[in-house]
């Protein structure tokens, strides 16, 4: 039930054909009065209260899973970039004629400890392959990923395989 409260006021200066006693019924204030006793409920109806808490309880774990997957993907990409850089540096070193043991040690300094490094030289090219298994730090909740990369470089003139 709504009730609008109006108060009369007089209209400005009288003009021809008007009277100063004319009263206008403009709405000065509007009060909404509830038909039920007690405080007026503003916002959601009573049956919907607490739904924000329930929605948050459902959405928060999903948000945490998306965040964890994103961090895991960034970690894997970072390890891949380390392996690519190390393989390129190793291939350049092997192309200059450095011994395979020295190339393997130089590559091992730039990659994770459990990486497998293969150095080979052909008649015209030197090839370095790096592979590593990246496992999540937080246990088996995310799958392990195998990262493999290789780099090839032409041998410098005068370098024999």
What percent of the chain has pLDDT above 90?
50
Would residue 145 count as lying in a domain? yes
Give the number of other Cβ atoms within 10 Å of residue 91's Cβ. Answer: 24
Question: What is the pLDDT at residue 99?
Answer: 92
For 123: left if phi > 0, alpha if psi spans -120 to 50, otherwise beta; the answer is: alpha
- Is the Cβ–Cβ distance between 149 and 84 less than 8 Å? yes
Residue 100 CB contacts under 8 Å (≥ 6 apart), including other chains: 94, 119, 121
Q: Which pLDDT band holds residue 90 (cuts at 50, 70, 90)?
A: very high
Mean pLDDT of the chain: 80
- Decide if pLDDT at 89 tops 60: yes
As a whole number, mean pLDDT of residues 85-110 equals: 94
111, burial (CB in 10 Å: exposed 0-12, middle 13-18, buried 19+): buried
| DSSP line for 63-95 | HHHHHHHHHHHHHHHHHHHHHHHHHHHHHHHHH
pTM more than 0.85? no
Taking each helix axis as running N to C, give the angle between helix 100-108 and helix 51-95, from 0 to 180 degrees, rounded to the nearest 10: 160
Domain count, the chain: 1
- Is the Cβ–Cβ distance between 91 and 151 less than 8 Å? yes
Rg (CA), the chain: 39
- Decide if pLDDT at 131 tops 60: yes
Would residue 96 count as lying in a domain? yes
**Of how many residues is the chain composed?**
161
Would residue 50 count as lying in a domain? no
- pLDDT (tens digit per residue) in 33-57: 555 555 555 666 667 777 888 888 8
As a whole number, mean pLDDT of residues 89-115 equals: 94
Range of 136's domain?
A: 69-154
- Decide if pLDDT at 91 tops 90: yes
Would residue 148 count as lying in a domain? yes
CA-wise closest residue to 95 among 153, 158, 151, 160: 153
Would residue 32 count as lying in a domain? no
Would residue 28 count as lying in a domain? no
As a whole number, mean pLDDT of residues 138-157 equals: 89
Q: Which pLDDT band holds residue 27 (cuts at 50, 70, 90)?
A: very low
CA-wise closest residue to 31 among 56, 7, 61: 7
125-134/29-31 β-pairing = unpaired
Question: What is the pLDDT at residue 35?
Answer: 55
């Amino acid at each position: 039930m709504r009730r609008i409260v109006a108060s009369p006021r007089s209209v400005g200066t009288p003009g021809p054909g008007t009277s100063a006693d004319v009263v206008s019924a403009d709405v000065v204030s509007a009060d909404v009065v509830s038909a039920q006793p007690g405080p007026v409920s503003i916002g959601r109806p009573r049956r919907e209260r607490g739904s924000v808490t329930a929605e948050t309880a459902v959405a928060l774990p999903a948000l945490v899973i998306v965040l964890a997957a994103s961090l895991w993907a960034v970690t894997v990409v970072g390890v891949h970039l380390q392996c690519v850089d190390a393989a390129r540096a190793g291939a350049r070193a092997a192309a200059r004629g450095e011994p395979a043991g020295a190339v393997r040690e130089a590559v091992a300094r730039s990659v994770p400890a459990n990486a497998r490094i293969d150095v080979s030289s052909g008649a015209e090219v030197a090839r370095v392959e790096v592979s590593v298994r990246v496992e999540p730090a937080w246990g088996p909740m995310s799958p392990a990923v195998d990262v493999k990369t290789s780099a090839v470089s032409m041998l410098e003139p005068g370098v024999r395989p």
